[in-house]
Structure 1
Amino acid sequence: MINTQEPVENFQQLYDDIKKYVLLQTEYVKVEFVEKLAILLSTLLIVSLIIILVIIALFYLFFSIAYAVEPLVGSLSLSFAIISVIYFGLIALLMVFRKKLIINPMVRFLSNLFLSKNQ
């Protein structure tokens, strides 16, 4: 006589295993997402802090350059104007090379972070 109970138990076990697998995969995706989000946010925080500190340092550096150039050009306002031209030049260079300096490294970082399999 053929036991009809066995296939039903096998299907129930298969269903339970698939359900457990799906739940484990969901948890794995959540953990991986949180890990990558933490890396992304910490990198953004570090880069933001570095940018702020560089801006402050450049501010004081250009102030000191303006006061150092003042005896050469004869006017403090003219030396500050020269420093302003230097600032605009740096902004123009940043705009011209924004893809090479900002966009490409950011895309490379994000693609390595989210698309690479580091298992």
Structure 2
Amino acid sequence: MFANDKSIDNLESLFKEVRKYLELQGQYIKLDLVEKLTILLSTLILILIIIILSMMALFYFSFMLVYALAPLVGSLIGGYAIIGGVVLLMAILIYRMRKQWIFQPMVHFLARLFLDEPTSKE
């Protein structure tokens, strides 16, 4: 009878430990997800800020180049046409190279972020 009571106590403590382990594992998964989503969101915000600032710089530099080219071309319209053509060629180049320049780096970043095993920091 005494041995059976000890077995029941051992089973109860085992179930308590398993439940505690599962709760801790759930908390760890939540913390890991929050960390990875924070990294992803901060990276997206940084990229968005860089894109906005780059577009503003491109806008002002294109006007600067138009006014610099106007005396060489002979008219302001010619300068706008040349700069418009250059910007259009850049857009076509980016569109044609979007897989190598945009999609593949994004896939590699997301795969590294979400699929790599966490390394021990000990």
> What TM-score does the superposition give when structure 1 sets the normalisation length?
0.94
Q: Give distance in 1, aligned partners of 2:98 and 2:119.
A: 30
Paired residue type of 1:15: F
Instruction: State the distance in 2 between where 1:118 and 1:40 align.
Output: 18
Structure 2 residue ranges without an equivalent (≥5):
none
In 2, Cα distance between equivalents of 1:46 and 1:61: 22
Determine the structure 2 residue equivalent to 1:25.
25
Q: Sequence identity, in percent? A: 43
**What corresponds to 1:113 in structure 2?**
113
**Structure 1: 5+ residue runs without aligned partners?**
none
Query: What is the CA deviation profile of residues 17-63 of structure 1, one whole-angstrom value per residue up to 9, with x for unaligned ones?
Result: 11000000000000000011111111111111111111111111111
- Alignment size in residue pairs: 119
Letter paired with 2:109:
F
Report what 1:78 is aligned to: 78
Q: How does 1:95-110 map to 2 (within 5 A)?
A: 95-110=95-110
Aligned to 1:43: 43
Superposition TM-score, scaled by structure 2 size = 0.92
Q: Which 4+ runs in 1 deviate beyond 2 A?
A: none
What is the Cα-based RMSD across aligned positions, in Å? 1.2
* Corresponding residue number in structure 1 for 2:11: 11
